[in-house]
Amino acid sequence: MQKRILGKSGLEVSAIGLGCMGLSYGYGPATEKADAIKVIRSAFEQGVTFFDTAEAYAQGANEELLGEALEPFRDHVVIATKFGFEGGDVQKGVNSKPDNIRAVTEAALKRLRTDCIDLLYQHRVDPQVPMEDVAGAVKDLIQQGKIKHFGMSEAGVQSIRRAHAVQPVAALQSEYSLWWREPEKEILPLLEELGIGFVPFSPLGKGFLTGAIDASTGFDKSDFRNVVPRFSEENRRANQALVDVVKQIAASLNATPAQVALAWLLAQKPWIAPIPGTTKLHRLKENVGGAAIELTAGNLSDIDAQLANITVQGERYPAHLQARVAK
């Protein structure tokens, strides 16, 4: 597995990381603990050194899982987690008050079985707390040796600039994929300017870009995709055209659609490191294989040309969550 440096931070990670949320939260029932640990450790064995979690993923349970799974090789991996929701509960709204940042960090250190968090993200911008106060609190924790790097998630241009002026931001984590290219407008140029790495979450379109989901697919009742407009049956049928394009290109490269989607992200900038998640060992192996796929300039222009004629249908969040995407 090749390595990448996130911007100017010096933080080295595997080109493809592992998003661990789905092992505990969001996509149906939590994976059995032994099976989840097997996925995480198998990722490490295949060269993955970048693991992503958050307090809000099952209110700390995902951090506990990751802490146990990675404890044998803690010194050889980069662990990223996040603060920013009241009590670790997304439904209760955001909380980035400095005292909460400190409390969440202390709790995360215990759950992750570590004395230092490699990368701590603000999960979502809190409009009630000045960004300077947030960055200042994280800066203090870095000076105390409890955190190595500061990150932000789904933040907008102004928030990133304000935070970066107080404490350099090592990485931004936001959604970016072949079916959500909004970051290309303002975010990627800003990150290039400031020397900030980019960590795309949902790089496979919450599973849609794998080609394994179609209009007839049913989701578990606890799967949040049930309330995502982009995943309505009608929109899945309309968005199939995009997957068909990816499948065609994948076939020509003797690769899978997921591998092409990940290779496309890696080809955009050398400081991008996507974090696909999975609960299945065969999907993990497939995703890791995406790092070995090299798309030519011709492949990339072909993808752009074909996708230019396709408009993805449906919002990526339901209305009540869309408002949390910061400016």
Number of folded domains in the chain?
A: 1
Residue 50 maps to a domain: yes
Residue 299 maps to a domain: no
Check residue 80 and give its pLDDT: 98
Check residue 171 and give its pLDDT: 98
State what percent of residues in the chain have pLDDT above 70: 97
Check residue 320 and give its pLDDT: 63
Can you give the residue range of the structural domain that contains 104?
3-206+265-292
Tell whether the model's pLDDT for residue 293 goes beyond 70.
yes
Check residue 228 and give its pLDDT: 84
Check residue 319 and give its pLDDT: 67
What CATH number does the domain containing 160 carry? 3.20.20.100
Tell whether the model's pLDDT for residue 254 goes beyond 60.
yes
Tell whether the model's pLDDT for residue 327 goes beyond 80.
no
Tell whether the model's pLDDT for residue 110 goes beyond 70.
yes
Tell whether the model's pLDDT for residue 326 goes beyond 60.
no
3-state secondary structure string across the chain: CCEEECCCCCCEEECCCEECHHHCCCECCCCCHHHHHHHHHHHHHCCCCEEECCCCCCCCHHHHHHHHHHHHHHHHCEEEEEECEHHHCHHHCECCCHHHHHHHHHHHHHHCCCCCEEEEEECCCCCCCCHHHHHHHHHHHHHCCCEEEEEEECCCHHHHHHHHHHCCEEEEEEECECCECHHHCCHHHHHHHHCCEEEEECCCCCCHHHCCCCCCCCCCCCEHHHHCHHHCHHHHHHHHHHHHHHHHHHHHCCCCHHHHHHHHHHHHCCCECCCCCCCCHHHHHHHHHHHHCCCCHHHHHHHHHHHCCCCCCCCCCCHHHHCCCCC
Average pLDDT, the chain: 93
Tell me the average pLDDT across 107-116.
98
Residue 48 maps to a domain: yes
Q: Which of 25, 57, 121, 176 is catalytic?
A: 57
Check residue 325 and give its pLDDT: 54
Q: Is 57 designated active site?
A: yes
Residue 17 maps to a domain: yes
Tell me the average pLDDT across 108-112.
98
State what percent of residues in the chain have pLDDT above 90: 76
pLDDT per position as a tens digit, 262-290: 999 999 999 999 999 999 999 999 999 99
pLDDT per position as a tens digit, 156-190: 999 999 999 999 999 999 999 998 999 999 999 99
pLDDT per position as a tens digit, 141-160: 999 999 999 999 999 999 99
